[in-house]
Structures are given as C-alpha cells and as structure tokens.
Amino acid sequence: MYFLYESLFWIIVIIVLYVYFGYPLLLLILNKLCPAPKVKKAEITPTISLIIAAFNEEKVIAQKIKNTFELEYPKDNLEIIVVSDGSTDSTNEIVKAFSENRVKLVALKKNQGKSTAQNRAVDESNGEILLFSDADVMLKKDVVKKLINNFSNENVGCVVGEITYTNENDTSVREGEGLYWRYELFLREKESEVGNFAMGSGIMAIRQNLFQSLDPNVGEDFVLPLKTVINGFKVIFEPEAVTETIMDQISSTDMFRSKVRIISKDLRGLFLCREILNPFRYPSYAWGLISHKLLRWLVPYFLIVIFIINLSLLEQPFYLLTFIFQISFYTLAFGGFLWQKKSKSPRILGIPFSFCLVNFAALVGVFRFISGEKSGKWQPTRS
C-alpha cells in the first residue's frame, strides 16, 4: 500500500509539473523542430462590425468610444455597435451622445448575460468581420489593421490580439494577474507558432459567416475559436495587435469571482465543443486544450490529493520535507491574503497568494460546472 501511495504521489506531482513547466517546454521544442507555416498577410479593408458589450460601464464607455474613433481604419468600413445589457447607470445616455458619430446603441431592457447581448449585437451588424472587444479594453491605433490583414489568407477564420494590463504593479492582485498574463501570452504565442492555438481574450476578430449564436452560459472568447477550428479554419494569435486593459480598484474578491465565472463558462463551452478533444481527429488541438486548459483547471484537485497522500508518507524524511514545503507555501499564501488587505504584499507572499487565488477559483469553477450551476449574468471587475 505504501508503494501505491508513493507511486500515486509522484504521478500527480509530475502532472502538475507538466502543466506549468513541461507543456511550455514542449511548445518551445516543437517550435524549433517543426513550426507551423507562417500565415501570409496582405493589406485588406473588409467591412467590420466592432461589437462592445457593456453592463454598467459609465466610467469607461466614453473613453472606449473615443478610443475607437482613433483607430487607423477606413471610417466607412468600420461599424461601431455598443450593446448595453440592461445597464442601470448612465451607460446608455453616454453612448447616445455619440449616436451621430457612427455609434449604434443596442439597449436591452434586462440584464441577460454577455453572450446573449453579443448575439443581439451580431443580429444588428453588417460587417464581413466581427470584432469583439470589452468596454475596458483600449486599442492601439493600428490594432484593427494588424488583426484584419491576417484574413487575407482564406484559411484564417479567427484572429486574437495581445492583451496587456495597466497599473498591474499597484497591488498584489494586479501584480499577480500581470505575471499570470505574461505566462499566458507566452503560451498563446508558442501555440500559434506550432499550430494548435484555439482561444482568445482582449480583442478577437472572426468572419461573420463563421459566427454561430452563442449559448448564454458560455464565453465568446473561448467558444468561437473552438468552433472556428471545428469548421476547418485556423485561429491565429497576433502579438502585434496590442490592447490595454484598465485594472484600477480590483480586489482579490472581485478577481476571484471573475475567474470562477470565466472558468465555469469556459468548461461549459469546452463541453459543448468536446469533439475537438478527439485526439484522432484533432490531435494537436486536443493535446493543447488538455494541457493548457483542462489539466490546469484540475490542478487544485491534484494539489489536494498530493497533500492528503503526503500525510501517509511522513515516515520517510524526504516526504516530511515535501509536507513542510506545502505547509510553508500555503502559510505564505495566507500571509499574502492578510497583507494585501492593507497594502501590496511582498513577492514572497504575493506570488503564493496569487497562485492559490487562481487555483481556488478553478476549484470552485470546476465544481460549479459539475454541479450544473450556470452563470449567464456578468459584472465588470472594476469599481
């Protein structure tokens, strides 16, 4: 029995190490040995519908609209649609003030959820390319050009830009999210280079004829790229299409709730598109999604099992050390939790805290998915 516990302990430890270190290393190796052919780009100017989903965004919506006016793209080919998902603040009034400047407001009477709002906006759109962007995501002037030029290749169905964060070092939460996103962007860039990239966030463009009405309990930035691949088209990560997201006044509670909602929605989306996990039909994509997403969402459950098994192995000095390491790490994380309530935690506390925050959110998000709890409603993670 001792041998069984020890074997299981190391199997799970190896899986966790693979998720965070092994998979990125394999991507680097594959990128050197057999990179995917680079997409040939050319300047094109198809009609575009820029869709901005908003719920109580009075603090940023005017800035967002002005930001879209500065985009370097033919005005006659750029349609701007703001869909207000039952906003109860002054979002609608602010958008209406821009109605004479190519901005169309689609105002829903009740808060129905982001995906439902986006479906309504698409129904009102006329562009050959749909461009999805959140209200708090500010676009560099050349973002649209950088994204759209990829569509000169007929095999490209969806293009995702790079998202960066402003003010990420002001608090432990923002610093942790900044570190997480730098790691995430590295994975996305390498996945795109080896040809198994199939997810998005920040800003995403997709051909109008590939859009399929969204389930109200999934996120467009995860499901639409998956459906694009299933329909036989490529999803491209464009690191030159840079956006900035405002992260002012985000608490650990806000971040936790946001991640729980996103993970449960993405898991539901992956379940709806589960055919892409077939390794015989989509070998590279199945490998990437299992490694990058599915296993990572299961990490908190792996960590719990590791901790429990470790208790059965304490007779060995080595496993006593691994147990002490775990206790120490979680103690530092708890210290980071307490410290961040007053000010920014030092990195020795902040990094363990951020790691545990993300994994606790995954623990809850996976449980909500398994239990069938849905979360179509949304709240901005800003105050």
Domain residue ranges of the chain, discontinuous segments joined by +:
1-383
At residue 180, the pLDDT reads: 78
- Residue 201 token pair: 């966030």
pLDDT given at position 69? 93
* Cα→Cα distances 265→4, 183, 220, 372, Å: 36, 22, 10, 11
Give the pTM. Answer: 0.88
CA distance 281 to 266: 21
Give the pLDDT score at 383: 43
CATH architecture of 1-383: Alpha-Beta Complex (3.90)
The CA dihedral of 306, 307, 310, 314, to the nearest 10 degrees, is: 170
Which pLDDT tens digits describe the chain residue by residue (383 residues)?
A: 788 999 999 999 999 999 999 999 999 999 988 888 888 899 999 999 999 999 999 999 999 999 999 999 999 999 999 999 999 999 999 999 987 778 999 999 898 889 999 999 999 999 999 999 999 889 999 999 999 999 999 999 999 998 877 665 555 556 666 677 788 889 999 999 999 998 877 689 999 999 999 998 888 889 999 999 999 999 999 988 888 876 655 677 878 888 999 999 999 999 999 999 999 999 999 999 999 999 999 999 999 999 999 999 999 999 999 999 999 999 999 998 888 766 666 778 888 998 999 999 999 999 999 988 765 455 565 54
Identify the pLDDT of residue 182. 83
> Comparing C-alpha atoms, which of 167, 226, 174 is closest to residue 199?
226
**Burial readout 290-304 (b: 16 or more C-beta within 10 A, e: otherwise):** bbbbbbbbbbbebbe
* Residue-level pLDDT at 375: 59
Task: Give the pLDDT score at 35.
Answer: 86
How far apart are alpha carbons 225 and 109 in whole angstroms? 29
What pLDDT score does 171 carry?
58
Least Cα distance to 200 among 228, 176, 175 occurs for 228
